[in-house]
Chain A
Amino acid sequence: NSELFTLTYGALVTQLCKDYENDEDVNKQLDKMGYNIGVRLIEDFLARSNVGRCHDFRETADVIAKVAFKMYLGITPSITNWSPGGDEFSLILENNPLVDFVELPDNHSSLIYSNLLCGVLRGALEMVQMAVDVKFVQDTLKGDSVTEIRMKFLRRIEDNLPAGEE
């Protein structure tokens, strides 16, 4: 039942806005919490979905949009705006279930309400050896027509060998 998640998320953001003085701190906290969720979510995802290893960032994008988002949030964002180098793309969400029933008041214009999602994506991908940068570039809560998340591949994370070993 997605309403439970949506309402709980709303209560969380509201509480964080009370606890932290400014929107920037709330954004950071949401990102951090999202990261912690992401590093666990990836295990659940891999167990449920049975997808194999992705060979490139394009495959990763497909799996994120068509499998992961569908599985957890019931929506399938579209993938657009690939950079020429194939290391950056946008996820376009026509509707964002997290913001059902939500309006941003005027005194919270720098709040990135759904910032948890950025942390989740970052944390999850880190666990499969990808360092990525994730941010919102458009947000229906702020009056844009769609919600757009920009994802950029930074580098592959090599497993660290213990010191002294080759």
Chain B
Amino acid sequence: MADEAIFLLLHNEMVAGLYRAAEQGEGENGRCTTKLESMGFRVGQGLIERFTKDTARFKDELDIMKFICKDFWTTVFKKQIDNLRTNHQGIYVLQDNKFRLLTQISAGKQYLEHAPKYLAFTCGLIRGGLSNLGIKSIVTAEVSSMPACKFQVMIQKM
């Protein structure tokens, strides 16, 4: 869909632009991932406010995670999370077998070392969304073979 195309282009240019600026010495390299993650965080907070304006109250933490996996992921990435696992002690693993932001990069292991750059924003997105639902978390991502990836959410007890 056209609106997905412009988001994809904007996201990829944001990643490229930040790393370009870092190379030219306008900032340290390690900060790029942090910047992308915090941008995602702001967007996640804003989006979740809009999406949950009229929804019913969530029953519990698992209910919230299911919302993220189904409604939230569908609105943002036009598909649901393929697999959700949890240890029922605050750790959730969200698996997306065909992550929209990676499908154009490669199918397999080529460019694997660049994949984390394209996941930082989305990690922030999830963390921001959860934050505005009252959940503090740490979100990381791992890829072993594109375009499949896993997002790990660790709930922080406050």
Contacts and interface: CB of A to CB of B under 8 A. Distances in A.
Contacts of A29: 17, 21
A157 interface: no
A41 B10 CA distance: 10
A19 B6 contact: no
B97 to A, nearest CB: 21
Interface in A23-52: 29, 32-33, 36-37, 40-41, 44, 48
B6 A7 contact: no
Contacts of B76: 1, 4
Interface string B8-31: 011101101100010000110000
A11 interface: yes
A128 interface: no
A101 B50 CA distance: 12
Contacts of A15: 35, 38-39
20 contacts: A1-B3, A2-B3, A3-B46, A4-B43, A4-B75, A5-B6, A5-B7, A8-B39, A8-B121, A11-B42, A12-B14, A15-B38, A19-B21, A19-B26, A36-B16, A37-B6, A41-B5, A41-B9, A72-B6, A74-B3
**Interface of chain B: mostly helix, strand, loop or mixed:** helix
Given A3-B47, A10-B43, A48-B2, 16 more contacts: A1-B3, A1-B76, A2-B3, A4-B75, A5-B3, A5-B10, A7-B43, A8-B10, A10-B46, A15-B35, A19-B35, A29-B17, A32-B17, A37-B9, A73-B6, A74-B3
A14 B42 contact: yes
Contact of B50 (A3, A10, A37, A73): A3
Given A15-B35, A37-B13, A72 B2 contact: yes
A28 B43 CA distance: 23
A3 B75 CA distance: 10
Q: Classify chain B's interface size.
A: 20 to 34
Interface of B: 2-3, 5-7, 9-11, 13-14, 16-17, 21, 26-27, 35, 38-40, 42-43, 46-47, 50, 75-76, 121
A139 B11 CA distance: 25
Contacts of B47: 3-4, 7
Contacts of A33: 13-14, 17
Q: Which 4 A-B pairs have the closest CB atoms?
A: A11-B39, A7-B43, A7-B46, A11-B42
